[in-house]
Structure formats: structure tokens, C-alpha cells
Amino acid sequence: NPGSLQHFAESMVRAYRIAMTPPHEPVLIVLDEDLQELGIEEGAALHIPKFAIPSPPAGEINAVREVARLLAGAENPVIVADRAARTQAGVKSLVQLAELLNATVIDQGGRMNFPNMHPLYARGTGAVARADVILGLELTDFFGTVNEFIDSAEAQQSSRLRAGAKLI
């Protein structure tokens, strides 16, 4: 909600940066009616800030190494993808990861993540109960994936996980 024309320029550049950084979510800018109607004051030194292309987010190197160690050592890894792949290259990378690990992939349908005709593709959450390591990729509901929850007066909840399963 910018309060001046200069603040509007700064807000637009910031909003564009946020919108262009994964996960590429929408941004809303509210512009006051008075600011929309007022003209530019004579001699105003307005400028549009320089835009720097954002770099994609990256995991801390030691955390990435630990994830790799857990996945490589897993007997029955499962990947749960909701909104992970944004491009065809992302889908290809996810397929390569699953094949390298021989990991079952549960695609929650947030966007096209994994080919549903691939032999490692799984429907539902049955694979979760057999997994020793579960990698969640941009899940909107990781809790609901690894737990069964009945929304009633009793609010019954039970875990789908086997004992000792690791969640990433």
C-alpha cells in the first residue's frame, strides 16, 4: 500500500521480484485513490529502482548433504510432490531422482510433477506406510499426507508412518 509515487515505483519493483522468485506466487499492490488521481509535482525527482534478477532459493549445503545421505541410505524412499516441478526440466529432474533412488512418487496433483504412467508413480498414500524416508516437495499439507485425520467432534488422528520413518 504505497504512500507516494516514489514508494509506488519501489513497491512495483519489489512485487515483481517476489512474483518472479519461486514459487512464483501472485502479488497484490493496493494503490490509494488519492494517489491515483494526483498529478506528479513539478520538479519531483522520481526514479524506478534498478531491478536485479533474483536467484532461485537453495538449501544450506550441509542440510542438502544430510538429505542426500538419508535418501541414498533408504531402503524404501518415497517422494511426495505437490507443486514441485515448474518446467519440463523440473519434471525430468524429478523423474531422474526417483529412478536413481528407486523411490515411489506420490504426485498430489498441485501441478504436473511426475508422469502418471511411470512405474514408480503411486496413487493415494499407501506407499507412505511402507516408507523409511519421505521427501515432501512443496506440499500444501504434509501433515495430511503422513497422518489420517477425521474432522469430527472426537478429532481422531492416527499416523500413517512406520516406526522410525524420517520426514524431509
Cell 518415497: give the residue.
Answer: 78
Q: 159 has which bridge partners?
A: 147
Query: What is the predicted pLDDT for the residue at 145?
Result: 86
Cell 496413487: give the residue.
Answer: 123
Rounded CA Rg of the chain: 22
Query: Is beta strand 77-81 parallel, antiparallel or unpaired with respect to 104-107?
Result: parallel
Contacts for 63-67 with beta carbons within 8 Å, 24 or more apart? Answer: 67/135, 67/168
Cell 519461486: give the residue.
Answer: 22
Q: 136 has which bridge partners?
A: 80
Query: Residue 87 corresponds to which cell in the numbers above?
Result: 518446467
Query: What is the predicted pLDDT for the residue at 70?
Result: 97
Distance CA 11, CA 156 (A): 45
What does the pLDDT look like over 31-64, one tens digit per residue? 888 888 888 888 888 888 888 877 777 889 999 9
Cis peptide bond N-terminal to 23, omega within 30: yes
Query: What is the predicted pLDDT for the residue at 113?
Result: 76
What does the pLDDT look like over 99-116, one tens digit per residue? 999 999 998 877 777 888
What does the pLDDT look like over 74-93, one tens digit per residue? 999 999 998 777 788 888 99
Distance CA 121, CA 16 (A): 36
The residues, ordered by sequence, that sit 6+ positions from 69 with a Cβ below 8 Å of its Cβ are none
Q: Is the pLDDT of residue 67 over 80?
A: yes
Question: Considering only 64-68, 118-122, 151-155, which range has the smallest mean pLDDT?
Answer: 151-155
Distance CA 75, CA 103 (A): 9
Distance CA 135, CA 159 (A): 16
Query: What is the predicted pLDDT for the residue at 149?
Result: 78
Whether the model pTM is above 0.75? no
